[in-house]
Chain A
Amino acid sequence: MESAIAVEDAPLALGGLQLRSRLLLGTGGFPSMEVMADAIAASGTELVTVALRRVGSDARSARAGSLVQTLAAAGVAVLPNTAGCYTARDAVLTAQLAREAFETDLVKLEVIGDDDTLLPDAPELLRAAEQLVDDGFTVLPYTTDDPVLARRLVEVGCAAVMPAGSPIGSGMGIRNPYNLALVREAVTVPLVLDAGVGTASDAALAMELGCDAVMAASAIARAADPVRMARAMSAAVEAGRLARAAGRIPRRLYARASTPNEGLPELT
């Protein structure tokens, strides 16, 4: 919705991209390619992530209707990810294949530690991140909401940190807003909430806590109406961003009338 007074916001610089939209989308789990394309359009996103493991040898496909062509037609940039990798070695190899297939140095680094939670394996993640940075990649690591690990990732040269609010696909939202605020304090690189978003208010909260962007995947793809949810997420990210910049009022225990007492008409 256009407001009467324009509010300026700088684009988000992420690995050489200048993003106007601060919503990033996952591409898995949509009921069809068409719904995915419509949801991408409704979200206004400019960057979507694709698991290299999911497309494999098809990554360079020029075939009409393929995932890669559908994304190209949508006009969005692709951020390859290493989903499904359980060791630093697998993640590094997958990132190298992704660089070749998608002709980009950007990689969303995922090294999964556990099948049930899909949470990151911290030591393997750090090892893979260091190696990939050394190899010239722009590394955006999927991490936990641990501020110390976030700082270590930045110290090895990661271009952003992408903490989970709760496990991937759980839709449980941000379970520890306090930790996310600590991560915000710990790093100056872009901070992207990467997992756990269930509905629009989760995305707004992430932005209010100081995230620079939000990644939404299952929350949109598996909603009953993904296109409508994509629009809702976009509005929520914008609302949260504006609210953070606007500066919220402090919380008080007792009421404080919004109309001051001074200047009340004296009715005698």
Chain B
Amino acid sequence: MARSDMDVLVAGGGVVGLSVAWAAAQRGLRVSVLERERVGAGASSVAAGMLAPVSEVEYGEAGRRQLDLGLRSAAMWPDFAAALEDASGLDVGLRRSGTLLLARDDDDARELGRQLELRSSLGLAVTRLRGSQAREREPALASCVRIALDVPDDHSVDPRRVLAALVRACAAAGVEVREGAEVASVALDASGERALGLVLAGGEQLRASQVVLAAGAWTPALAGLPAHAQVPVRPVKGQIVRLRDPAGPGLVHTVLRHARGYLVPREDGRYVLGGTVEERGYDLAPTAGGVHELLRDAYELVPGIAELEIEELSVGLRPGTPDNAPVLGAGAIGGLVWATGHHRNGVLLAPLTAELTAGVLCDDETPQPELLQACSPARFAAALTAVELVS
């Protein structure tokens, strides 16, 4: 069977899976991507595409680790986008617009003051703007905007364009991308300690020397792994509204964020308004309450959105891990490499994930072992054992 000649099988055709496949193919590996539905049908085509490590930073050691990953990958994005545009001939919609974090009342302003302090203590370039200064930048902002933080280096990209470009770039690099190919399980050898390939839902068996799990929130559903080799990835539901300005672009230029959501402008007068964060399992239904809250908050900050047309309501499931950091590299099973668990940052972390994962697949001496260490699939082993004891 011709497909048994593959070096690498990638389960999952989202931004992460395709980026990994493209990077591996560029290093001379023969790669096949198995996508359950269509390319990007999971979280990738729902995602807003913010490249926002500074906006997203959290307190504590875990926050600093995430920031480090995010800053590294954000710095890779311009070259990654240029290479992708070269290889595909398609624009990926990278907009260097910067981001404004907004406070709509005194309570928000106090919280934003605390957020400014946190970023300053980490040496991040963030500037405080008064309400009037924020409105000079973005005249569509409501008068309730009290203060804003200007985050000049947090940008955005259009994940749907990135997906289209990745498909072409993968094809040009010789990657086979199979849509409608649902992976049912990982095939292990008799010892149960080495991956032989993947088994599709129809029973078809595919063999390769290495397997990459990049199925996002659906990764844990892949059967065949013993308990000690699994990784606790859970679905974190996010609802997103896509809006279009019939008058064209111009209402908002910068990525706008507030305590509960964000508004990301595209070049063509389209906007992505998100995103709820819900622990509801594999629930893909948009709800009246979720959409109401998104629209209510955005309308308070940018009253002009009332004139926009609603193009789409969509729901994505972010792959969440206990510490919010991704799961990258080799785990307990030989020949099985993880590239999932990116939570809110799959698009941001795609270039870094692709580089690190391709390095693992080629058995490179990775120049950044501490990054793989922080994202090791093995870090949850103790927690998983505890879960087994209770269940």
Contacts and interface: CB of A to CB of B under 8 A. Distances in A.
A62 B387 CA distance: 9
A65 B391 contact: no
17 contacts: A31-B59, A33-B320, A34-B62, A35-B60, A35-B62, A35-B323, A55-B281, A56-B280, A63-B234, A64-B230, A64-B234, A64-B387, A72-B387, A73-B386, A73-B387, A73-B390, A224-B60
A176 B234 CA distance: 42
Interface string A70-113: 10110100000000100000000000000000000000000000
B232 interface: yes
Given A56-B281, A63-B281, 8 more contacts: A31-B62, A56-B278, A56-B280, A57-B283, A63-B232, A64-B384, A69-B387, A73-B387
Contact of B58 (A31, A37, A58, A73): A31
A56 B283 contact: yes
B226 interface: no
Nearest to A28: B279
Interface in B351-391: 380, 383-384, 386-387, 389-391
Given A31-B60, A31-B62, A32-B323, A62 B391 contact: yes
Contact of B279 (A34, A55, A62): A55
Given A34-B62, A56-B281, A73-B383, A63 B324 contact: no
- Indicate the size class of the contact surface on chain B: 20 to 34
Contacts of A35: 60, 62, 323
Contacts of B89: none
A34 B321 CA distance: 9
Q: Which of A55, A63, A225 has the most CB of B within 10 A?
A: A63
B322 A72 contact: no
B233 interface: yes
User: Top 8 nearest A-B pairs by Cβ distance?
Assistant: A65-B232, A58-B281, A64-B232, A34-B322, A65-B234, A33-B322, A34-B323, A56-B280
Interface of B: 58-60, 62-63, 118, 220, 230, 232-234, 278-281, 283, 289, 320-324, 380, 383-384, 386-387, 389-391
A225 B62 CA distance: 11
A18 interface: no
A31 B63 contact: yes
A61 interface: yes
Nearest to A73: B386
A222 to B, nearest CB: 9
Nearest to B63: A31
A66 B390 contact: no
B390 A65 contact: no
A175 interface: no
Contacts of B280: 54-58
- Indicate the size class of the contact surface on chain A: 20 to 34
B279 A65 contact: no
A125 interface: no
Nearest to A61: B281
A31 B324 CA distance: 8
Q: Which of A33, A67, A75 has the most CB of B within 10 A?
A: A33
B220 A64 contact: yes
Nearest to A223: B59
Contacts of A31: 58-60, 62-63, 324
Contacts of A72: 387, 390-391
Contacts of A67: 279
Contacts of B384: 64
A95 B308 CA distance: 38
